[in-house]
A and B are shown apart, each in its own frame.
Chain A
Amino acid sequence: MPPTMTATEALVEELQDRPVVNDVVINVATVNGSGSQSANFILLRALFSMGIPVSGKNLFPSNIEGLPTWFTIRANEDGWLAQRARTDVVIAMNARTVAEDVAQVHPGGILIINEALKAHATRDDILTYVVPYGEIVKQVCEDTRLRKKIVNVIYTGVVARLLGIEMDAIDAAIDHQFGGKPKAIKMNRDAAQAGYDWAGENLEAQNRYRVQRSNKTDGKMIIEGNEATAIGMLFGGVTVAAWYPITPSSSVCEYLTGYMEKYRHDAETGKATYAIVQAEDEIASIGMVLGAGWAGARAFTATSGPGISLMSEMTGLSYFAEIPAVIVDVQRMGPSTGLPTRTCQGDIAKTYQLSHGDCKHVLLIPGNVGECYEFAMEALELAEQLQTMIFLMSDLDLGMNKWMADPFNPPSKPIGRGKVLDAKDLERLGGFQRYGDVDGDGIGYRTLPGTPNNKAAYFTRGTGHNAKAEYTEKAADWKTNMDRLSHKFETARKLVPASIVHETDAATVGVLAYGSSDDAVQEARHILQERHGVKTDYIRVRALPYPADVRAFIERHPVVYVVDQNRDAQMATILRGELFDLSGKIRSIRHYDGMPLDADTVVQQLLHQESR
């Protein structure tokens, strides 16, 4: 070690000799509303087009403009794309958060900091690059108003130069981002190139983190969960959607609106084969969905926790009057003013038993964007098949972040409309019992308003009714109906998607998780085995009521860790309650700080409990 070097400088020097290739977490710290999102998507897509698996997570404030926002890109050759606690590269653009942003760079990592903030660049255990964005932007953009937007694109060029991202990939990503707008494409390409050139001339090359072309993204695509859900609704044949804006669910219906406008108009008349209504509140949204479902349309709404609260009463009507309906719940933290832009799985227990009296509902829980698409279709299908409310339990992480995925499978089965009798059926049958259990599955036959047969009508009500849908307050009638609804729920258990089970030889520890936890849990299992010698089996539950494979999995393992992204271990509690004979085996791993789940959290909590 030369005598002028500090220990940490020596560490940095030493790390330069061991480059980490295609494994980097980049965190961009900017100001909300400054147009940084485009720049971040360009970086993400450039890495993707170089064949390196990537994910992009946007940590944004509940604010339109001015508050801090972070965008985390994880690029990983092996496809580990969950949230990771360690940050390798920080791009510091925000004066308000610069101190904490500088502090989060992992020792030996890289800080790329705006010259205006360089007073904060005081760490000697990291590589620091100071970039005069203000000067560079003047050279590429004469319009002072546009400079604010363009300035962020400059850092894509700087990062490209430092990490080895190919400029062709950056250019292609810019073309994708600004598709069809030649002026914007040129301006952004110029800005990125300016950053690249400036870095080449002025910054010392580093060899700590490198990226290089790979082939791990061949055939893959990048999409957000909410857009995937909208595509599922489109191909699920939805005809009525009603919604009220709420973060993080709004984009489900906004994406859907775009697709329906494009693909769902009658070729001859130009008329819409759908209706989407932005309602006045969530009560109206779900009311419209129930009205449409009652009249026979495939209908859904999308919302988040506070909206679910308002939809509670209508959910009870759907359950007791047996009206098909679908609610997409893109879960987020807390009440209306809680942390609306942070993720969690906090609505599981609530939605499972939402509303009054004895209620229990079917929840489909997608674990990736492909399942957002598939389960959106399946939710519409099951709602009509089971004549009840179906919840699609997404979350902010899954719904609003960028995920790499295989292309979705085209719809594999025809649309089924459930047990609906038309006028001809009624002529043949001479009548029907709306709430009778003819087939032994707890599901009655229904007719739609407007069916031209004088035996078709029945009166739909939440109040007591007998098999013929007649008003009744008789104890025996009420109980009979409740028992049939319970039986119908057992039918649902057989119809919901099976769990995904990964078993390893000789593993004794079981892990049970659901939803967006999947990536982090898979990575945690890898770490547990590779670094700690702990083999695990894994079951990913995709629905409530949980199918029979859940009991079987827990029975096979002496201990099962249930991973919940909520404080109160909601899934673990449901399982302990319903599988009470196995409850002693069920342990809990919980994560509830609003950030997406990371593998380390799972590893640490599991090892800690194993060591006791």
Chain B
Amino acid sequence: MTEAVLDKPKGQNRIGLLLSDYKGAESTLCAGCGHDAITSSIIKACHELGIEPTGVAKLSGIGCSSKTPNYFLNQAHGINAVHGRMSAIATGSSLANRTLTNIGVSGDGDTASIGLGNFLHMVRRNIRMTYIVENNGCYGLTKGQFSATADKGSLKKGGKEINQNEPVDICALAIQMGCRFVARSFSGDTNQVRNLIKAAMNHNGTAVLDIVSPCVTFNNHEGSTKSVTYARLHEDPLHEVDFIPHFDPITVNYDAGTYTKVEMHDGSLITLKKLAHDYDPSDMDRAMALLHEAAGNGHFYTGLIYCRPDSVPFGEQKNIVDVPLATLPESVTRPSRAVFNQLMASFK
């Protein structure tokens, strides 16, 4: 903590805002929904980072998860795209205004079923965005049908239907599409979720967070691998995630034997305290092997699965001016009369 921050009245962050300044409308989701826990984590993460709420764009698709941007950061613009198309909307808005901080919340149906194609292409382009998938393996708003992330052999509520199809692994696909920040977590592991969100928001490209977030109404029974009980029993953190933003001094000595450090492009630091595993998130082959193994035996690893901070976001690839395209003046966006005349002459 810096002196400046310590001087702030209690509860104020580095830009003088309280936690309550990051809140949104009251949630209309079911009591105990994992999504609400993630909403709280987003609110805390933004407060702790001292994010300017009016500089945030909240993006979402359609579904229970996509309702949640209404429940945080009331002072930020938000949008519900059509189902599965948050990625396309986000691509357009991020090009129109590169200064926005983009937080997207989608679901497993939205991202991995109807929106899978557009999601993968957005990841390929590497737009600068925190992309959270609140993954519960089912469609809540339409009463519990399987989604594409439901594990093979999962039982549907009521016990009559077993999912026969292979699940879509959002993390593995994201890595394959070139994503350089891929994490998996559990909504109930609020510390990990919060720190991963903070790190993701400082990543210079698309950061994909696949967060298992149980549907307490339709997919919280025995036979589901996305239930609260299953997640609690099986969660196996790869490491203990902490995030030190660039504006905070580093006060702890992070010993290489106990910690893995990831330095981000803006000088922020992700520290990963070693637990039972010796895991290096910069190794793509290791990450893919881990996901493959997890898929094979139902293991629920959480943490930062893959991270390479040397990332070139889409706006930079396109060499777009730093100021928002949206508000460029006519003097910039309309070529001169001389250019017009020259063009007309070329067709004669």
Contact = CB atoms under 8 A, between A and B. Distances in A.
A448 B81 contact: no
A410 B337 contact: yes
B99 A450 contact: yes
Contact of A410 (B320, B328, B340): B340
| Best-surrounded residue of A219, A236, A269, A283 (most CB of chain B within 10 A) | A283
Interface string B282-315: 0000000000000000000000000000000001
B180 to A, nearest CB: 20
B326 A239 contact: yes
A242 interface: yes
A266 B332 CA distance: 8
B96 A239 contact: yes
B220 interface: no
A292 interface: yes
Contacts of B90: 291
A456 to B, nearest CB: 6
Contacts of A231: 343
B348 interface: yes
Interface stretch (A118-126, A295-303, A357-365, A591-599): A295-303
Interface of A: 219-223, 231, 234-240, 242, 263-264, 266, 269-275, 277, 279-281, 283-299, 313-314, 316-317, 321, 407-408, 410-411, 414-415, 447-454, 456-463, 471
A237 B334 contact: yes
A252 B87 CA distance: 25
Nearest to B115: A283
Interface stretch (B42-50, B52-60, B146-154, B254-262): B52-60
Nearest to A237: B333
A456 B75 CA distance: 7
Given A269-B321, A271-B322, A295-B96, A283 B118 contact: yes
A295 B57 contact: yes
A55 to B, nearest CB: 15
10 contacts: A221-B348, A231-B343, A235-B334, A237-B328, A238-B333, A275-B320, A279-B88, A284-B85, A450-B57, A454-B75
Contacts of B94: 291, 295
Given A222-B347, A449-B57, A456-B54, A299 B78 contact: no
B213 interface: no
Contacts of B348: 219-221, 407
Contact of B77 (A264, A283, A415, A457): A457
A274 to B, nearest CB: 7
Contact of A272 (B78, B118, B321): B321
Contacts of A451: 54, 77
Contact of A298 (B85, B315, B333, B335): B333
Contact of A263 (B78, B318, B339): B339
Contacts of A298: 333
Nearest to A288: B92
A275 B80 contact: no
Given A271-B320, A288-B88, A449-B100, A280 B334 contact: no
Given A288-B91, A451-B54, A471-B70, A239 B85 contact: no
Interface residues of B, number: 60
Contacts of B70: 459, 471
B54 A283 contact: no
Given A454-B54, A456-B54, A299 B85 contact: no
Contact of A450 (B95, B97, B118): B97
B265 interface: no
Contacts of B80: 459-463
A292 B95 contact: yes
Nearest to A271: B321
Contacts of B330: 237, 414-415
B121 A284 contact: yes
Given A239-B325, A239-B328, A295-B92, 12 more contacts: A236-B334, A266-B321, A273-B328, A274-B333, A275-B95, A285-B88, A292-B93, A295-B94, A297-B325, A407-B347, A410-B340, A452-B55
B61 to A, nearest CB: 10
A221 B327 contact: no
B97 A295 contact: yes
Contact of B319 (A219, A222, A272): A272
Contact of A456 (B77, B117, B118, B315): B77
A223 B345 CA distance: 11
A313 B82 contact: yes
Given A263-B339, A313-B82, A456-B54, A450 B88 contact: no
B89 interface: yes
B118 A280 contact: yes
A280 to B, nearest CB: 4
Contacts of B54: 450-454, 456-457
B74 interface: yes
Contacts of A321: 79
A349 B87 CA distance: 30
Contacts of B332: 266, 273
Contact of B91 (A269, A291, A296, A448): A291
A295 B93 contact: yes
B121 to A, nearest CB: 4
Nearest to A49: B348
